[in-house]
């Protein structure tokens, strides 16, 4: 089974090939055909499973060759932190160029002017954190009416950080009937309310971490003083 067999655009598979990525991971096999067909996706699982390429390849295949009007991107990936947004962008950017799609990170702690200029020129894919995105919406530098695909990455972490009201505000501004893909390790903490309200008959996939072998693990709970944590952690890490 190759990425091409799953329906991924040929120019994208060529770039994957040059990076030595030939065989889809299980989450990619499970989600790509449905995601490329435009269905809503609910992915349960963690970093390391290959979910960035799972949603990234689907959205780039669907939007290949399209252009965005000034300040009106076509796809939005929401991430809880700037660091994750930049990691997602690092995966998407080299691939997106092969299908004439630009992408832009919109996140706090980075220059406003670069983000605003890119949005003004017209950028099809925006990878954003909720706070800076709301800020730029309020300042009228971006409009979400043309968003056809929204990805919520690490939705449980966004809930933990108190971003769900912002996430809901953002989703309410996207084009009705657009595709939504939500990835989360758990559905606690109101993530299920997001799923119920914003995903239509989502295709659900549980994604095991590629490298995890949970069957071989034993869990221990250590109760300790806060001040002992660093020492104990280093002792655990240093043992055979
Ligand atoms: P992610 O869960 O998206 O953070 O991906 C975890 C890591 O797996 C990243 O370093 C990816 O570049 C890598 N990766 C994702 N899919 C594949 C694949 N099909 N073959 C090889 N490496 C991959």
53 Cβ inside 6 Å of ligand 1: yes
- Which of 52, 92, 212 to mutate to test ligand 1, by most ligand atoms within 8 A of the CB atom? 52
- Ligand 1 pocket, residue 73 CB under 6 Å: no
pLDDT score, position 215: 56
Domains of the chain: 10-214 (3.40.50.300)
In the numeric block, the tokens 């004439």 are attached to 100
* C-alpha span between 195 and 134 (Å, rounded): 21
- Ligand 1 pocket, 55 CB below 6 A? no
Contact between residue 206 and residue 175 where contact means Cβ atoms under 8 Å apart = no
Instruction: Write phi, then psi, for 209 (nearest 5 degrees).
Output: -65, 130
CA of 22 to the centre of ligand 1 (A): 11
How distant is the alpha carbon of residue 69 from its chain centre? 22
Torsion 207-210-213-219 (CA) sign: negative
According to DSSP, the residues that pair with 105 across neighbouring strands are 127
Provide the b/e sequence for 198-214 (b: ≥16 CB within 10 Å): bbeebbebebbbeeeee
pLDDT at position 212 = 47
Question: What is the predicted pLDDT for the residue at 210?
Answer: 44
Nearest-CA residue for atom 5 of ligand 1: 50
DSSP SS3 for 102: coil
Ligand 1 pocket mutation pick from 4, 50, 57, 85 by most atoms within 8 angstroms of CB: 50
- Residue-by-residue pLDDT tens, the chain, 240 positions: 999 999 999 999 999 999 999 999 988 999 999 999 999 999 986 678 899 999 999 999 999 999 999 999 999 999 999 999 999 999 999 999 999 999 999 999 999 999 999 999 999 999 999 999 999 999 999 999 999 999 999 999 999 999 999 999 999 999 889 999 999 988 877 898 999 999 999 999 876 544 445 555 677 889 999 999 999 999 999 988
Cα separation, 195 vs 44, whole angstroms: 12
Give the whole-angstrom CA distance, residue 209 versus residue 51. Answer: 10
What number does the ligand 1 atom closest to the CA of 46 have? Answer: 2
Report the distance separating Cα 110 and Cα 113, nearest Å: 9
At 205, list the tokens.
Answer: 């996939």
Q: Cα separation of 8 and 60, whole Å?
A: 9
pTM of the model: 0.86
What is residue 97's predicted lDDT score, i.e. its pLDDT?
A: 94
CB 16 within 8 Å of CB 3 = yes
Quick one: tokens of 30?
């499970």
Q: Which of 3, 53, 88, 209 to mutate to test the pocket of ligand 1 (most atoms within 8 A of CB)?
A: 53
Distance 50 CA to ligand 1 centre (A): 4
């Amino acid at each position: 089974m190759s990425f091409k067999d799953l329906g991924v655009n040929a120019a994208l598979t060529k770039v994957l090939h040059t990076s030595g990525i030939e065989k889809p991971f299980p989450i990619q096999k499970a989600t790509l055909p449905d995601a490329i067909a435009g269905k809503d996706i609910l992915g349960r699982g963690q970093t390391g499973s290959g979910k960035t390429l799972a949603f990234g390849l689907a959205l780039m295949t669907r939007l290949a060759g399209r252009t965005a009007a000034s300040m009106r991107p076509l796809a939005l990936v929401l991430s809880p932190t700037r660091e994750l947004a930049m990691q997602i962008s690092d995966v998407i950017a080299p691939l997106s160029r092969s299908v004439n799609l630009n992408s832009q990170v919109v996140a706090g702690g980075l220059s406003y002017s670069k983000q605003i200029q890119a949005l003004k020129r017209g950028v099809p894919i925006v990878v954003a954190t909720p706070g800076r995105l709301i800020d730029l919406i309020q300042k009228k530098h971006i409009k979400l009416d043309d968003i056809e695909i929204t990805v919520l990455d690490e939705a449980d972490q966004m809930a933990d950080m108190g971003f769900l009201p912002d996430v809901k505000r953002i989703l309410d501004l996207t084009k009705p009937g657009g595709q939504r893909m939500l990835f989360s390790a758990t559905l606690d903490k109101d993530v299920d309310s997001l799923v119920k309200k914003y995903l239509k008959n989502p295709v659900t996939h549980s994604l095991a971490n590629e490298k995890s072998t949970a069957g071989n693990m034993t869990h221990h709970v250590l109760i300790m003083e806060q001040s002992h944590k660093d020492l104990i952690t280093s002792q655990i890490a240093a043992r055979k």
